[in-house]
Amino acid sequence: MAFGYVFLIVVLALTVPLAINLGRRAGTELETDAELKALQVAATLELADLASPAELREALALPQGFDRVVITDAAGRVLADSTGTAISQNFANDQRPEIQTALDGFPYSESRFSSTEGQDILVAAAPIWQNDEVIGTVRMTRDIADVTRAIRTTTFGLAVVGLAALAAGVVIAFGLAGSLARPMQRLVTAARRLGQGDLKARSGELTGPREIKELAASFDEMADRLERVVQSQREFVANASHQLRTPLTGMKLRLEQAIADESDLRVREGLRAADREVDRMAEIVDRLLVMARRVEEGEPTVADLGGSARAAVGRWEERAARAGSTVQATGPSLAALANPSDVDQVLDVLLDNALSYAPGAIEIETGSQDGRVFISVRDHGAGIPADEQARVMERFYRGKGVPTGGSGLGLAIASELTETWGGSLSIESPPDGGTSVVARFRPSSTEPAGP
């Protein structure tokens, strides 16, 4: 389509100035020719006696193409008129500036509308010299309606040619645009489907320029590799789940049985510590599996951030009470483009961190800002040093001085789950202390589904 606009501009840029220049050139040539003929007639009178009617009659012979010849004296009074209608009239007036110009010794020509004749005319005047003195003028006129019609015909012809060229250009432009747009649209559709989780999406063989064909082939090759990688990842998830969970489950059962059978308190306490470590290992395995699995499966669904916040309070208030903390949710229900279960998992990670490292009052807040909707978890603990805020979302990174027991994967998982839906996770330090972890999502115009 852009090509069509460019072609239209080019046609107009060429046709309009060409028509204008042709019209101007035709007018200029007519005026120049009339001026030369007026000078020729004036030259024949340089040795003539302007008081002689016979000699004036010879000068009144109409040059080809002219309708009227008038000869005046040095005062602009008409001495001879080929139409015989203006004898003795004074032509040196404002309506005939060419007479005064010729009396000043200069030839003159122009095209203008004549109020006395009621039509467009071409007029030319030239001085008659004798003994280096202007003794009169020659004025010639002609109707230029035919010339105007010819110019208009030429301009119309150019316009027709321009419109025909424009129509042909538009047809060509649409043809080219279609030949380029259709394969590109097909490629865009395939890329969108692949980005939404359809690993079978391919562009297939496309028609068009060589570059588009090469691009489509490269895209399909990339999609093939991506499908193989995801498939191998899924196989890894299945294998890891079987290989890791089975021995951990067996170990936990044996430890629980040993704890039940052991009578020595010190040994039982050691067994309980080992049991807790097995639980922690199982948690690490679960989080590693979440990190490895494919999160995005098709189009994002709609999550109710306010509902997720209130549900999180219900899940965590008992643990918060045991830790001497409180959890409360504030803010409106906002629709976000995200999977509700992923939002719940992000909140679980953030609340787990807050209760583990900064017990006390914990607030979950929802809101909108800068075209995004957000849900945040804020604690009132010691806060995270500025130089560590960027690193705490790295896998397995643990901040300095934090209590032992964590896996270093929670914030990394929360960040990846948020980014999966086009969102972001950031850590902020409120002015009055503590830490606020904010998950931002794209808003949805669709209301979230009810429970």
CATH number, residue 252: 1.10.287.130
Alpha carbon distance 39, 33 (integer Å): 10
| Residues 331, 276 within the same domain | no
Task: Look up the CATH number of the domain holding residue 71.
Answer: 3.30.450.20
pTM over cut 0.85: no
In a domain, 12, yes or no: yes
| Residues 12, 144 within the same domain | yes
In a domain, 201, yes or no: no
In a domain, 51, yes or no: yes
- Rg over CA atoms, the chain: 48
Assess whether pLDDT exceeds 90 at residue 26: no
In a domain, 214, yes or no: yes
Query: How many residues does this entry show for the chain?
Result: 451
Q: In this structure, are residues 327 and 362 in contact, taking their beta carbons and an 8 Å threshold?
A: yes
| Residues 116, 253 within the same domain | no
Residue 255's domain spans which residues? 210-292
Given this model, what pLDDT does residue 294 score?
A: 44
Domain end marker among 114, 149, 184:
149
Task: Look up the CATH number of the domain holding residue 388.
Answer: 3.30.565.10
| Residues 144, 9 within the same domain | yes
Alpha carbon distance 108, 97 (integer Å): 9
At 442, list the tokens. Answer: 């794209």
| Residues 274, 319 within the same domain | no
Comparing 66-70, 171-175, 428-432, which segment has the lowest mean pLDDT? Answer: 171-175
In a domain, 182, yes or no: no
| Residues 83, 219 within the same domain | no
| Residues 281, 334 within the same domain | no
In a domain, 167, yes or no: no
Given this model, what pLDDT does residue 297 score?
A: 46
| Residues 40, 129 within the same domain | yes
Instruction: Tally the domains of the chain.
Output: 3
Alpha carbon distance 410, 98 (integer Å): 97
Give tens-digit pLDDT for 31-78.
888 888 888 888 888 887 888 877 777 777 767 778 888 899 999 998
Mean pLDDT of the chain: 78
Q: In this structure, are residues 289 and 296 in contact, taking their beta carbons and an 8 Å threshold?
A: no
In a domain, 197, yes or no: no
Q: Residue-wise over 308-321: b if at least 16 C-beta within 10 A, else e?
A: bbebbbeebeeebe
Mean pLDDT across 245-265: 81
| Residues 286, 331 within the same domain | no
| Residues 6, 144 within the same domain | yes
Residue 107's alpha-carbon distances to 67, 80, 86, 89, 100, in angstroms, are 19, 19, 22, 21, 10
Domain end marker among 251, 267, 292:
292
404: confidence class by pLDDT, cuts 50, 70, 90: low
| Residues 145, 222 within the same domain | no
Alpha carbon distance 337, 334 (integer Å): 10
| Residues 342, 397 within the same domain | yes
Given this model, what pLDDT does residue 182 score?
A: 74
In a domain, 193, yes or no: no
Mean pLDDT across 219-226: 82
Instruction: Kindly tell me the burial class for residue 322, based on how many C-beta atoms sit within 10 Å of its own C-beta (0-12, 13-18, 19 or more).
Output: exposed
Domain end marker among 239, 261, 292:
292
At 210, list the tokens. Answer: 């060589």
Give tens-digit pLDDT for 277-330.
777 677 666 666 665 554 444 445 789 999 999 999 988 988 889 888 999 999
Alpha carbon distance 340, 348 (integer Å): 12
Residue 337's alpha-carbon distances to 301, 373, 423, in angstroms, are 6, 9, 9
Given this model, what pLDDT does residue 304 score?
A: 93
Comparing 21-30, 86-95, 224-233, which segment has the lowest mean pLDDT? Answer: 21-30
